[in-house]
Each structure stands twice: as structure tokens, then as C-alpha cells.
């Protein structure tokens, strides 16, 4: 049975009218089975069916080993599903080769990780701008977009600071600015508040909520954090590789 999730009434939003797809994320009978040795098979995803409309902030919750990170990897094209369909932002990922997936991620996706993933030798500005250099954006546009993203996360005053000169919350804000640099339509976040105290986690979750609304982005966030329930539009509960109704 397909799981079609509708946002809670108090947070209902209209999908981005500029999108040329009905669902930001759509899967059908999505399986990911890992082979261990010659004979053992371990299913991480067991027939996931999802239909998620654009422009919402979604939490993906479940115990360790429930399949959260595997699902994020399959939806980003970083991992190849064993079978089924995964259509993200209107593209069937199963029909794309590695080069096409790499280009597609660079153009349309943003990533935020628990460990921040910043380059320690680069300043906050340089960490964000690097993503635009990789994309081949011209110098003036790179500069303007980098400052815009740092403004969005409230870190323009710290743009010349390197990661070790910033707090954990500030580092995660730089990581968010970096994820926004390429103007993504979808952000995938894996435990982004896992290394933050509760007060800082609330700040980051509030920032995510504002960004989704103001930038018209879809965000799917894997998390164990109970605080996320107050900020998201919907919660998907994973258990043993399946979505629990």
C-alpha cells in the first residue's frame, strides 16, 4: 500500500507552483538488499512506498538500523536500490548513470550532515563559495550568492573565521549555507542536530523551518531528536526498513 502523507492542518502549505512535478519524492516498492558473503542477504529497505509533495519539512525517524540513512542515500543517488522505483524532483534515479546522477545532485540537491563536513583550512566564506566554484558559477555571482547564504543563516560577520574558530552551532550554520549555495530544490539532512545541545538544536531546527518556507525548498531530515516534532510538517516513522503507518 502506498503511503501518501499529508501535512498537519496547522502547517499546511501550497506546493511550489513553479515545480514541474507533482511529488518531490516518490518511491514504489523500493528495496535495498546488501549481500554479506556468498549467501547472506540483509534487507535494509523493504518495499518503501512514498509520495511527498514539494515544499515541506519532513522528519524521518526510527531506531538505529531502521533504514534512515540507506533511504537518504537511495534518494540522493549515492546508493543504488536493489529494485523498485525512486523518482526525485521528477527524475527516475534508476534510469540515470553515475555521471548523470553526479550532475543532477550538483544542480538540485543540498546535503547537511551530523559532523558538519567543513574543510578546516577554509573560512566560512570559502567553504560556502567552494560549492559554487565546483558548479562553475562566475565570480561575481559566486560572491553575491555566498554572502546571501551566509546572511540567511546569520553568519556574515563570521565569514572570515575558520571552522575551529566557530561554535558547533555556527559550524552547522555554515554547513547549511553551503547546502543552500546551489539553490537546491531538495535538502537531505542526516542527524544534523546530533552533535548539538538542545538550545542550539532548537535554533537550527527553527532555521530549517524558516528556510523551507522562505526558499520554497523540500527538506527530508533523518533524526533521533525528539525536538524535531515541534518544527516539521510531517513525520515518517521507519521500522525494519518499512514505513510504519
pLDDT digits (tens, 9 = 90+) for 6-47: 333 334 444 454 567 899 999 999 999 998 887 888 899 999
Q: Which candidate, 125, 141, 222, places its Cα nearest to that of 183?
A: 141
What's residue 115's pLDDT? 81
CA 67 to chain centre: 15
Helix boundaries (H) for the chain: 68-76, 98-108, 124-135, 139-152, 168-180, 198-215
Q: Which three cell numbers stand for residue 116?
A: 558538519
CATH class of 3-118+168-174+182-244: alpha beta
Average pLDDT over residues 61-69: 89
What's residue 3's pLDDT? 45
Average pLDDT over residues 88-104: 94
Report the alpha-carbon angle 193-196-199, nearest 5: 100
Give the contacts of 222 (CB within 8 A, at least 6 positions apart): 59, 60, 61, 68, 69, 71, 72, 189, 190, 191
Average pLDDT over residues 140-147: 96
Average pLDDT over residues 67-73: 93
Average pLDDT over residues 105-125: 91
Res 240 pLDDT > 60: yes
Amino acid at each position: 500500500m502506498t503511503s501518501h502523507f499529508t501535512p498537519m492542518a496547522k502547517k499546511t502549505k501550497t506546493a511550489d507552483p513553479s515545480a514541474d512535478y507533482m511529488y518531490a519524492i516518490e518511491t514504489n516498492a523500493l528495496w535495498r538488499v546488501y549481500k554479506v558473503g556468498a549467501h547472506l542477504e540483509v534487507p535494509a529497505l523493504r518495499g518503501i512506498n512514498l509520495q511527498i509533495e514539494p515544499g515541506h519539512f519532513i522528519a524521518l525517524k526510527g531506531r538505529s538500523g531502521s533504514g534512515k540513512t540507506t533511504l537518504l542515500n537511495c534518494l540522493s543517488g549515492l546508493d543504488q536500490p536493489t529494485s523498485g522505483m525512486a523518482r526525485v524532483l521528477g527524475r527516475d534515479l534508476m534510469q540515470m548513470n553515475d555521471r548523470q546522477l553526479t550532475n543532477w545532485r550538483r544542480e538540485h540537491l543540498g546535503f547537511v550532515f551530523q559532523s558538519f563536513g567543513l574543510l578546516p583550512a577554509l573560512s566560512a566564506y570559502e567553504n560556502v563559495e567552494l560549492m559554487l566554484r565546483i558548479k562553475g558559477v562566475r565570480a561575481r555571482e559566486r560572491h553575491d550568492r555566498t554572502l546571501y547564504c551566509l546572511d540567511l543563516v546569520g553568519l556574515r560577520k563570521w565569514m572570515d573565521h575558520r571552522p575551529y574558530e566557530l561554535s558547533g552551532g555556527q559550524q552547522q550554520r555554515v554547513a547549511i549555507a553551503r547546502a543552500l549555495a546551489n539553490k537546491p530544490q531538495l535538502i537531505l539532512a542526516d542527524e544534523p542536530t546530533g552533535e548539538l545541545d538542545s538550545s542550539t538544536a532548537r535554533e537550527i531546527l527553527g532555521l530549517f523551518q524558516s528556510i523551507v518556507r522562505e526558499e520554497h525548498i523540500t527538506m527530508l531530515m533523518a533524526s533521533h531528536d525528539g525536538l524535531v516534532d515541534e518544527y516539521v510538517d510531517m513525520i515518517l516513522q521507519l521500522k525494519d526498513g518499512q514505513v510504519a503507518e
